[in-house]
Copies of this chain bind each other. A is one copy, B any other.
Amino acid sequence: MIIVMKKDADEDKIQHVIERVESKGLEAVLLRGEKRNVIAAIGDKREIPTDYWLAIPGVEKTVPILTKYKLASREVSPRTTPVRINDTSVGGDSLSIIAGPCTVESMEQTLSVARAVKANGAVALRGGAYKPRTSPYSFRGLETEGLEILAEARRLTGLPVITEVLCPEDVGLVYQYADVMQVGARNMQNYSLLDELGRYDKPVLLKRGISATIEEMLLAAEYILRTGNAGVILCLRGIRTFEDHTRFTLSIGALAHLKQVTHLPVIVDPSHPAGDSSLVPPLAKAAVAAGADGLMVEVHPDPENAYVDGAQSLTPEGFEKLMAELRPIAQAVERDIKV
């Protein structure tokens, strides 16, 4: 931690900061500058929050040297740690394509999508049984019935299933049906939920909050990792910016940066940032070319009649076409992709 003192901080204030640094078991080194004095606090105490130092009189700003997250850091492992889902894994040599409807609507709808996406190389089925909706007047999912449909679709197709869980008290139930439990963007910092998921032994797919920094996202992953659940898959799905022509802004730079700073696998959801099915393929291709470990794509047999997110859902034909287009790009970046 580097502590920059205010220009007018006198000797007493400087000594006081040095005492505080030492009282935390860190070594203090005072650097006298022409206009500002700086105190370097040496040692690894990254759990001391930044505002601890900022509240001391005379301190102007602080600069962390170490990342706040530990278990999610690439320092833990120089290579991506694959996360196993039944007999497949995310983060290895193969590109993991997860696909399915935004929302589970019926056995027939779910099964037809599951079969179509499996035939075209998807390795897992996504589908929402519990839907967080901006408006309380919108459809909120089939709940337990949806979970049962997903389980039946798995039985019939062999595809593992990924579904969202909204609150701590639902985790136990969702765990019984799902192969991967998803934390949605709105819940990325729902710490009660993260704590609870950390106690289970199935992988968690953690979506980035629409205005979360990368550090905040990795600290959210840290909540799950520290309780003992090592199976965290990160998922980028677009951030909120001033752009008004797409639903969200997919940041490929965030993907590239994440691949440098964390050993956790990172996949991309191209459907939510697109908001429109015609924009899904270019975003999907960009993500694969930039090094994503996989994709999660919304597919619906009849988008016009989808309960939720029809506008951004691919048809099974659209998904087939996308997969055909993705294969040479995956090969170009030396990733296998299931045929």
Chain A residues packing against B (C-beta within 8 Å):
2, 4, 7, 29, 31-36, 38, 40, 42-44, 46-47, 49, 51-52, 54-57, 63, 65-66, 68-69, 75, 132-138, 140, 166-170, 186-187, 189-193, 210-211, 213-214, 216, 219, 222-223, 226, 238-246, 248-257, 259-260, 273-274, 276, 278-279, 282-283, 285-291, 303-306, 308-313, 325, 328-329, 331-333
> A289 contacts B329, CB within 8 Å?
yes
> B286 contacts A257, CB within 8 Å?
no
> Which residues of chain B have C-beta atoms less than 8 A from A65's C-beta?
4, 33, 35-36, 38
Question: Which 10 pairs across A and B sit closest by C-beta, in order of nearness?
Answer: A55-B310, A211-B211, A328-B332, A289-B289, A54-B311, A47-B137, A286-B286, A167-B192, A246-B253, A256-B282
CA–CA, A282 and B291, complex, Å: 7
> B253 contacts A257, CB within 8 Å?
no
- Nearest chain B CB to A178 CB, angstrom units: 17
> Which residues of chain B have C-beta atoms less than 8 A from A282's C-beta?
252, 255-256, 259, 289-291
> A252 contacts B286, CB within 8 Å?
yes
CA–CA, A53 and B113, complex, Å: 22
Known: A186-B190, A279-B253. A43 touches B38 (CB 8 A): no
Known: A243-B239, A245-B254, A286-B286. A304 touches B135 (CB 8 A): no
Q: How many protomers of this protein does the assembly include?
A: 4
> B243 contacts A240, CB within 8 Å?
no
> Which residues of chain B have C-beta atoms less than 8 A from A135's C-beta?
47, 49, 68-69, 219, 222
> B226 contacts A136, CB within 8 Å?
yes
> Which residues of chain B have C-beta atoms less than 8 A from A68's C-beta?
134-135, 137
Residue from A136, A251, A331 with most neighbouring chain B CB atoms (10 Å): A136
Known: A55-B304, A166-B192, A246-B257. A33 touches B38 (CB 8 A): no
